[in-house]
Amino acid sequence: INHSNGGKQVQLIKEKIIENYNQILNEINKYSPYPEKVKILFVSKYFDITNQKRLIEWGFNYFGENKAQVYRDKIKECNLEKVKWDFIGRLQKNKIKYIIANVNLIHSVDTLELLEELNQKALEAKRHLNVLLQINVSEEESKAGLSIEEFKKNQEEYFKFENITIKGFMTMAPYIGNSNEIEICFSTLFNLLKETKDKYPELEELSMGMSNDYIEALKNGATILRIGSKLFE
């Protein structure tokens, strides 16, 4: 099965994907301090609906989408009793309506205003939403997310919403970081979770680590790995 990955045609081969998936499972057991907590989120932005359905038929059941309209179109076509679908991209307020009804977890909440809007929409939809706060640990200008300082300064503001539970944090490692800088980024977020959890015990998820840096993320306590190309290359 061919599909497009940034213009490149990539072969989608069941055996290959299962082999790569199992390799990551082995690495979870090898590197994570608590392998039983770690989930592999299959980044599904690379797939059209036909290939998406095949992945579900092959037994994969935890996906992350980064465009709200694509999310909406895919979930119309797929049986949501069988799968959990997270939203992992930047979320604009006017796009919340596309995901609100059934999103499992939103990884990319990066402002207080977005939380307020999500809380309001959740209230209207009679839903309770689980979200992660996106923290820009490396403070790169090209990245979204709250700085650690900003989060700490206004901490209580983020946890005041009745229709939202903040389940943890998400971050992206520096784009051009070496392995040491990546480790520092991930361990910093792990420590933030540890120190904030005393007051907010519902904090349990760390969404960090992608295809090129998930080993460093595992060593530093990641509970959700957002894996795309590594699964089918």
Can you give the pLDDT at residue 12?
Answer: 81
**Claim: this prediction has a pTM higher than 0.85:** yes
Q: Tell me, what's the pLDDT at 7?
A: 45
DSSP tag of 128: -
Contact 126, 97 (CB under 8 A): no
Q: What are phi and psi of 213, to 5 degrees?
A: -145, 25
38-85 pLDDT tens trace: 999 999 988 899 999 999 999 999 999 999 999 999 999 987 788 999
Mapped onto helix, strand or coil, the DSSP state of residue 169 is strand
21-35 pLDDT per residue, tens: 999 999 999 999 999
Place of tokens 């901490």: 155
Question: What is the tens place of the pLDDT at every residue in 140-162?
Answer: 777 889 999 999 999 999 999 99
- Flag whether pLDDT at 9 surpasses 50: no
Which pLDDT does position 197 carry in this prediction?
A: 96
- C-alpha separations of 76 from 29, 62, 102, 145 in Å: 35, 16, 11, 30
Per-residue confidence band for 119, with pLDDT thresholds at 50, 70 and 90: very high
Predicted local distance difference test score (pLDDT) of residue 10:
53
184-204 average pLDDT score: 97
* Pair type for strands 2-5 and 8-11: antiparallel
Query: Does the pLDDT value for residue 171 go beyond 80?
Result: yes
User: Which structure tokens are listed for 91?
Assistant: 């979320």
pLDDT (average), residues 163-188: 92
Contact, 77 vs 53, CB < 8 A?
yes
**CB-facing half-sphere around the CA of 83: CA atoms within 13 A:** 28
Residue 222 to residue 214: CA distance in whole angstroms: 8
Residue 192 CB neighbours (<10 A): 21
